[in-house]
Amino acid sequence: MRDEFDRFLLRYRSGLSEIETKLAILRDEFSLVDGYNPIESISCRVKTVEGVLEKATRKGIDLDLDAIKDGLSDIAGVRVICSFVSDVYRIVDLLTSQSDITVLEVKDYIANPKPNGYRSLHVILEVPVFLSAGPEPVRVEVQFRTIAMDFWASLEHKTYYKYDTQVPQHLIDGLTEAAETASHLDSTMERLHHEVRSYRPPARTLDV
Ligand code: 0O2
């Protein structure tokens, strides 16, 4: 069973490599052609066997590989951190319009934040992985966020982990307020960024 599970997870690791390569190519091209890199970082993880079994059990999914494959969308996860909200949408468009990518679901928590203030854009997609037996579609969850959204989500996650869901109300309120501040910061930074990018310095005259 363990061997079978390791083979099962290998597909997800391969799917992650495919997506990571696509994103790295976009990042490198932007850096070269535009002189500007819209992607701050890309991180990938495949859930552990224990993590997969725990989530499947929690969601009432049968513990067989076919049911797990159908029932869980985040066995393979990629997180893409962008500088600005407009970069998030630009990279999402460029990735999801590639001909070998099938988009299964988009959850836009930037346009529609969660009540606690969580903001990110999640895309669940399928990418083909070419194994010895032929191509196989592999499901990957890609989370896109800005630096400010990531800063907030990391602290919120740590808070819930530490208090084991019994988070005091003043911390919940503080986090919701901080989410508003982060959103405001994103808007301000985006505006400043556009102004700086469109600035053309006046032509210098030569003093002879
Ligand atoms: P981990 O450890 O990050 O993988 P799902 O539970 O995925 O089947 P759901 O809740 O509809 O279904 O999915 P959603 O809303 O797309 O959220 C999935 C992932 O988004 C979470 O994975 C988190 O990584 C992140 N996320 C969603 N909501 C929040 C939030 O309020 N705060 C923070 N910090 N992260 C959030 P996991 O499996 O919960 O955790």
Euclidean distance between CA atoms 14 and 168, whole angstroms: 41
Per-residue model confidence as pLDDT tens for the chain (208 residues): 677 888 899 999 999 999 999 999 999 998 888 888 899 999 999 999 999 999 999 999 998 999 999 999 999 999 999 999 999 999 999 999 999 999 999 999 999 999 999 999 999 999 999 998 899 999 999 999 999 999 999 999 999 888 987 889 999 999 999 999 999 999 999 999 999 988 888 887 776 5
Q: Is the CB of residue 114 below 6 angstroms from any atom belonging to ligand 1?
A: yes
Q: Is the CB of residue 11 below 6 angstroms from any atom belonging to ligand 1?
A: no
Active site residues: 141
> Ligand 1 pocket check: which of 72, 157, 167, 176 to mutate, most ligand atoms within 8 Å of Cβ?
157
Instruction: Write phi, then psi, for 195 (nearest 5 degrees).
Output: -65, -45
Interface predicted TM-score (ipTM) of this complex, two decimals: 0.91
Q: How far is CA 180 from CA 114, 161, 170, in A?
A: 12, 22, 15
- Picking from 97, 182, 94, 193, the residue whose alpha carbon sits closest to that of residue 146 is 182
27 and 144 Cβ atoms separated by less than 8 Å: no
Q: Judge if pTM exceeds 0.90.
A: yes
Taking CA atoms only, the protein residue closest to ligand 1 atom 33 is: 153
Taking CA atoms only, the protein residue closest to ligand 1 atom 21 is: 74
Q: What structural domains does the chain harbor?
A: 2-148 (3.30.460.10), 153-198 (1.10.287)
Ligand 1 atom with the shortest distance to the CA of 47: 4
76 and 10 Cβ atoms separated by less than 8 Å: no
